[in-house]
Structure 1
Amino acid sequence: MTTIDSSAVPADPEIAAERRALADARTALRRMRETVDATELLFGDAAKDKVTDAALRRGRERRLAALADIPGAPLYFGRMDFEPGTVFLDDVPDDRSPHGPADEPDRIHIGRRHVHDGHGRPVVLDWRAPISVAYYQASPADRMAVRVRRRYGFGTVVGEDGEPESVLTAFEDEDLMAGARAPEASPGSQLLDSEIERPRTGPMRDIVATIQPEQDVLVRAPLETTLCVQGAPGTGKTAVGLHRIAFLLYSERERLSRYGVAIVGPNRSFLSYIQDVLPALGEVDVHQTTVNELLTRDLPERSRPAQGWVRRTETPEAARTKGSAVMAEVLRRDLWSHLRTPQEAVVVRQGARRYRLYPEDLRPLLDELSERGVAYGSGRELLSHRMAHAVLSLMEAEGQVCDDRTHTRVRRDPAVRAAVTALWPKADPLRLVLGLLTDPERLARAADGLLSPEEQRTLLLPGNPRGPKSARWSEEDLALVDEAAALIERVPGLGHVVVDEAQDLSPMQCRAIGRRAGSGSLTVLGDVAQGTSPSAARSWSTLLEHLGKPTGHLHALNRGYRVPAQIIDFAARLLPSIAPGLGAPVAVRRSPGALRLLPAEGDVVAGVAEACRDALTGEGSVGLIAADHQLTGLREALEAAGVDAPLLGEAGMDGARLVAVPASLAKGLEFDAVVVAEPAAIAEAEERGVNRLYVVLTRAVSSLYVVHARPLPDALG
């Protein structure tokens, strides 16, 4: 393996040649974009309409966005030299074949997107293309026809326009022809290690250049497969989910474009952190949402409270009860109890004749529909059809000729419509849930045999709301409203959904997400050890059942590439108490001095300030994490001590290296250095506070400072 650094050999001809190739690739990409931008939208007379025009323009805008260059991200990151004749491109003329002389290897560059020159010849092949599998999977034991795998090292300089530009500074060749080696004898990649460990500031970056073989297998799983990835901190489970979306949009774009793709994250801070990954991979048309946003997207705007939908936090007991799957049956019972037993005959006039449907004629119609499992809202329409058919049978028995027009006329008869409204009342999901959770007697009837009286009392909404707009809804209430809405009308589905931090979903939230992927597939990401909600999952098999995907494939990622062993081993001391039976993650690297335990001797603020200053002497981002109730006072004290720590998500934090993060929002985030203030306070702040502490302690990828005036929790002592 040979490593050449341009800082040591500034005139190296190979580096110069590679830089020219990279410049040519960027020129080709720019030409591709200019070609699309210059395309005129021409329509024939038959196609000239606003809908067609808007659709074509949207398509061109998406294509332009996908072809946008990102100066700070290398256009390609690797190269493969194949056996001569391996790479065969049928659509490339012989005089422009990628093959050199017969004994020269076939050579391709691997990058974030496909780029071709003005003649259609590939300059960069997309990392998602089938042939690119060899870049991630080839080994001396199975070369996959690869002779040499080359990785590139890049630096960043400021261009003439003031924007950062990536500059190729080094390359590293791995000779796969040297024969099979034992894994422990493999030399490893210095450039790969340095890229994995590179300090990060700002949002998450893609890992397309550093995908590991076990991650690549998951990324390329077929669309029909629902994956559940149990991933310890630093194993790249979030990156796997994002890159799987990019891969599926490449391999199944036509299918997914019809139904859509969504990423469901735990909160907006997390979604902001990952927002740049897919655009960097050329995918700009993926919906990113939180669970609450997903559940409230289709609720009527006129019913939205002025302060927003979520205005209340449930007690742990109420959250568990409202989030339990048994609530689906409670809601179903309450909804279908609205059906009324026929008491009077329905009289339909047709000309001079009258036709009567007596109660004994109507009861079988209601029973048949209610037992079929149809959506409640569809049942009203079906009941009118059944009643019209029954009347037509009476008319035909008297010798009248009936057709579709007769059926429609009878179905719309005022008597039939009035009977449908009386027997099968309309239902609104918001008002249904509001009525159920404000009427103890009604709730007792629906929950009889399912919930105890004590559990029923925890469900009732506080106050006396007069309507959905004045109610103080909680996150758990929204899942109930979504369940009620699905019982009334079927919800539209998506082609694929990625759910991150899924271990915190309640069974009712799982049902809501699963309905949207009922005919599609899921990528479920999480770590049961990081479950902090009252309804957090303890078993992936149970969670998959609630998602409606009991046959989903469970895979474990336990090799941590980013978090040093000292940090992960320290945090793993909590695992026996928070996730019994779950194996401890294995870190692939050690970093001397990564863990620093700093007793504060009564003055936490001074200790935190000193730790923050020390962390800022290094490179990359710094996160200050404390219990939610302590963070405001801590920030004020730090500001007085001359340490400015803007709050995560607030205005003015852009560009700040040090950010203050409430412990409740730390999940899924990553910082080069983390300063944890008073771990005992984090552990005591909530019912599953020790799980929250495990999350907090595993956010650092370089250095972890643990500042404490109180004794550490016993497991960490």
Structure 2
Amino acid sequence: MGRERAHLAASRAALRAMREDVQSLDIRDVTANWVNAEVLQHQIDARIKALADLAHTPLFFGRLDYRHDPGAEPSQPAERAEEPSSATALYIGRRHVHDAVGDPMVIDWRAPVSQAFYQASKKKPMDVVLRRRFGYTGGELTAYEDENLMDPAEADRTSRLLQEEIERPRVGPMRDIVATIQPEQDEIVRSELAGTVCVQGGPGTGKTAVGLHRVAYLLYAHRERLARTGTLVIGPNASFLRYIEQVLPALGELEVQQVTVGELVGRLVAVRGADEPAAALVKGDARMAQVLRRALRAQVTMPTEPLVVVRGSRRWRIPAYELEEIAGELLARDIRYGAAHEALPQRIAHAVLVRMEQAGEAPDDRVQDAVARNPAVKAAVKAIWPVVDPAKLVWRLLSDADFLGVHAEGLLTAQEQKTVLWAKPPRSVKSAPWSAADAVLIDEAEDLISRTPSLGHVVLDEAQDLSPMQYRAVGRRCSTGSATVLGDLAQGTTPWATRGWDEALRHLGKQDAVVEELTAGFRVPREVIAYASALLPAIAPGLAPVASVRESPGSLSVRHVPDAAVAPAATATAAGDGGEDGGAAVAAVVAACTESLRQEGSIGLIAADARVPALAAALTAAGLTHLSPGEETTEATRLTLVPASLAKGLEYDYVVLDEPAAIVDGEPDERTGLRRLYVCLTRAVSGLTVLHAAPLPEQLVQQA
């Protein structure tokens, strides 16, 4: 242990030296101007941040002892000693660390030679003699555990340190899983940049972590390419993004942008309104893309009058039928509307130049450009192929029943058209009550006019809740790049939730994506996931339940709140018009939270959105400080009150779940309600307490 601690201390000293070397750089003598200086300084600052030594984050978490030097041709086996030489022992950590002469002291977990730490086994040792895992307490190395992969006498066993790391209580945002990545997860993480991967994974299978670690791996393996093309992480809401925002920085990746779909498409208008579910369902349907395309192409008006261009003393006449042929050819090519608008004046100018050449003149490109800028040509282009504002196009579709009817004919039914029309059309684009679905339509229209730039790689989490039009919006951002799509069909809680990954990937434009399924659960206890999985036949028939590897007896408690229970005055008042029984239920919730706070780790109180105000008042009256989703928990403040609608993707050590029936009833239909309940039941990683006064859903009755 002493030698390992000494290596840790030496590695930390080497990392500090690496950081000091960067800090000492003087850019004044190596830059030609202030622009270059700013760019270089930004790169230096980013490098300094990436080399930060986080006191409570282990610098290395494992060691590989190779039979042969992995950097040389295999020769004689290295002698096995209690502490092997540095030539055959590699320390695996979150970032690369080298000493003063450049020799590695810690190998980045993403390096090819590190893959054996995750993939090596007794059946396939990958030339590894011994794999060592380290245990830490408060950043200090306190234990290690060895696995001899070439000793047939040593029985296979589950790593105690690995299990402890997986089950370690958490306070604060999501942390990386770089020390606990499993072989099936590692294969997805290290999949090639060129391919899109879709990961179907139930609660606790680590799909979000896999997606984030894949970004970190791709940035390591393809740094220059992705620096040019960019990467993006897309999450379902701001709370979720705050929860995961520290994972990539902890792995040394500071430049990856993280946004919601709403932020992705909401640049052109301010979203102030909300749709009824029926309207949002139609607006999110892929048929709307064809409606928009028809409406946009209808802006092209074929000419009925000839065009006369005056140059000097000559007049050049282009008949209407020829102008119509030029416009018709551009329509037939089906290029972007804006690109065609830019091409049209040059096409008309070319027709003029042909006539000039036939008359014996010898015009060049400069003459063609001048003709394209001629006022008569500009006027003709404006009349034939006018500039279109995408927001105004969508505004007209949603305001004008006749305009929508013409372009939705054969695509939307009369009732669907009526559903998406504004009851009281706004007077202008600025005064329109734009919804989130409207912003997606505007984004689609903008892309029809001018191509959306593509990124190198996009990670899309909680993808099962996206509409077809939202998939199209994301797909435009990676049309020439690749994507990692993460989701769970059983957790779809929107009216337009994905029915199958094949359909979703088609809308995304990634039909050739590889679909991987993670079925081993590492976070949610077996007793809890089995209880929640009773809902699967009703919400996702045919989907395999998660097989949790965590044995945690007593992790589930389902309690009925007796009708005769008497609530304290404070909680009875907080229950509002819930009456005595409502007060009793709230009192039971407060008591359960108080009980859970005696445990180590984070506590989540999850309830139907409508019940949150009453519970918040009761917690405050009882002196229990609580946070909202996305706020960072601390040792002093570990309780978060979570509306059911925001629970997806979040995890807590202990969860108190209030009134399952209210969560189900809070959704438009029973199936969506049961899916929402499934999400809420699977947020606990150590213990779940379910409290109910109303009857449980029938699927859970036998499990209670």
Give the TM bin, normalised by the shorter chain.
Answer: over 0.9
1:195 paired residue number: 165
Is 2:607 the partner of 1:623? Answer: no
Aligned-pair distance for 1:229? 0.2
1:334 paired residue number: 295
CA–CA distance in structure 1, aligned partners of residues 597 and 560 of structure 2: 20
CA–CA distance in structure 2, aligned partners of residues 101 and 583 of structure 1: 45
Is 2:695 the partner of 1:714? Answer: no
Is 2:117 the partner of 1:135? Answer: yes
CA offsets, 1:158-179, max 9 Å, x none? xxxxxxxx00000001011113
- Structure 2 residue runs without a partner (length 5+): 74-80, 563-580
Aligned-pair distance for 1:537? 0.2
Aligned-pair distance for 1:101? 12
Mark the CA change 1:554 to 1:180 in structure 2 (over 3 Å): closer, same or farther: farther
CA–CA distance in structure 2, aligned partners of residues 228 and 490 of structure 1: 25
Give the counterpart of 1:171 among 144, 148, 157.
Answer: 144
Amino acid in the other structure paired with 1:357: I
Amino acid in the other structure paired with 1:263: V
Is 2:195 the partner of 1:217? Answer: no
1:696 paired residue number: 680
Greater CA drift, 384-393 or 468-477: 468-477
Give the counterpart of 1:614 among 582, 585, 595.
Answer: 595
1:475 paired residue number: 436
Counting only pairs closer than 5 Å after superposition, residues 659-670 of structure 1 correspond to structure 2 as 659-670=640-651
Amino acid in the other structure paired with 2:355: L
Aligned-pair distance for 1:311? 2.2
CA offsets, 1:68-127, max 9 Å, x none? 1111100000001111433449xxxxxxxxx99999971110000000011111000000
Is 2:55 the partner of 1:71? Answer: yes
Three-state SS of the structure 1 residue aligned to 2:550 is coil
Three-state SS of the structure 1 residue aligned to 2:141 is strand
1:155 paired residue number: 137
Amino acid in the other structure paired with 1:268: A
Amino acid in the other structure paired with 1:251: A
Aligned-pair distance for 1:43? 4.3
- TM (norm. structure 2) is 0.93
Three-state SS of the structure 2 residue aligned to 1:492 is coil
1:16 paired residue number: 2
Aligned-pair distance for 1:466? 2.1
Aligned-pair distance for 1:61? 1.2
CA–CA distance in structure 2, aligned partners of residues 518 and 187 of structure 1: 45
Amino acid in the other structure paired with 2:18: M
1:33 paired residue number: 19
C-alpha contact 2:286 2:469 (8 A) present in aligned 1: yes
Mark the CA change 1:474 to 1:103 in structure 2 (over 3 Å): closer, same or farther: closer
Aligned-pair distance for 1:652? 9.4
CA offsets, 1:422-449, max 9 Å, x none? 1111101111111111100000001000
Is 2:613 the partner of 1:632? Answer: yes
- Structure 1 residue runs without a partner (length 5+): 1-14, 90-98, 157-165
Same amino acid, percent of matched pairs: 52
Counting only pairs closer than 5 Å after superposition, residues 36-115 of structure 1 correspond to structure 2 as 36-43=22-29, 48-88=32-72, 106-115=88-97
C-alpha contact 2:590 2:618 (8 A) present in aligned 1: no
2:204 paired residue number: 234
CA–CA distance in structure 1, aligned partners of residues 633 and 687 of structure 2: 25
C-alpha contact 2:522 2:549 (8 A) present in aligned 1: yes
CA offsets, 1:532-582, max 9 Å, x none? 011110100100000000010000001101100110000001100110110
Counting only pairs closer than 5 Å after superposition, residues 358-507 of structure 1 correspond to structure 2 as 358-507=319-468
Counting only pairs closer than 5 Å after superposition, residues 563-712 of structure 1 correspond to structure 2 as 563-601=524-562, 602=581, 603-649=584-630, 656-687=637-668, 688-712=672-696
Aligned-pair distance for 1:512? 0.6
CA offsets, 1:6-51, max 9 Å, x none? xxxxxxxxx222111101111100100110010011446xx52232
CA offsets, 1:287-333, max 9 Å, x none? 00000101124x2xxxx5xxxx2322222211111101000000000
C-alpha contact 2:327 2:344 (8 A) present in aligned 1: yes
Mark the CA change 1:391 to 1:654 in structure 2 (over 3 Å): closer, same or farther: farther
- TM (norm. structure 1) is 0.91
Aligned-pair distance for 1:653? 8.2
Aligned-pair distance for 1:410? 0.5
Counting only pairs closer than 5 Å after superposition, residues 187-336 of structure 1 correspond to structure 2 as 187-297=157-267, 299=268, 304=269, 309-336=270-297
Amino acid in the other structure paired with 1:59: Q
Taking only aligned residues, the RMSD between alpha carbons, in angstroms, comes to 1.9
Three-state SS of the structure 1 residue aligned to 2:535 is helix
Aligned residue pairs total 672
Three-state SS of the structure 2 residue aligned to 1:661 is strand
C-alpha contact 1:647 1:653 (8 A) present in aligned 2: no
Mark the CA change 1:102 to 1:69 in structure 2 (over 3 Å): closer, same or farther: closer
Three-state SS of the structure 2 residue aligned to 1:672 is strand
Three-state SS of the structure 1 residue aligned to 2:534 is helix
C-alpha contact 2:452 2:477 (8 A) present in aligned 1: yes
Three-state SS of the structure 2 residue aligned to 1:598 is strand
Amino acid in the other structure paired with 1:484: A
Amino acid in the other structure paired with 1:628: D
Amino acid in the other structure paired with 1:519: T
Three-state SS of the structure 2 residue aligned to 1:437 is helix
Amino acid in the other structure paired with 1:657: R
Mark the CA change 1:196 to 1:367 in structure 2 (over 3 Å): closer, same or farther: same
Aligned-pair distance for 1:654? 9.2
Aligned-pair distance for 1:475? 1.2
Greater CA drift, 464-473 or 288-297: 464-473
C-alpha contact 2:647 2:683 (8 A) present in aligned 1: yes
CA–CA distance in structure 2, aligned partners of residues 206 and 104 of structure 1: 27
Mark the CA change 1:645 to 1:456 in structure 2 (over 3 Å): closer, same or farther: same
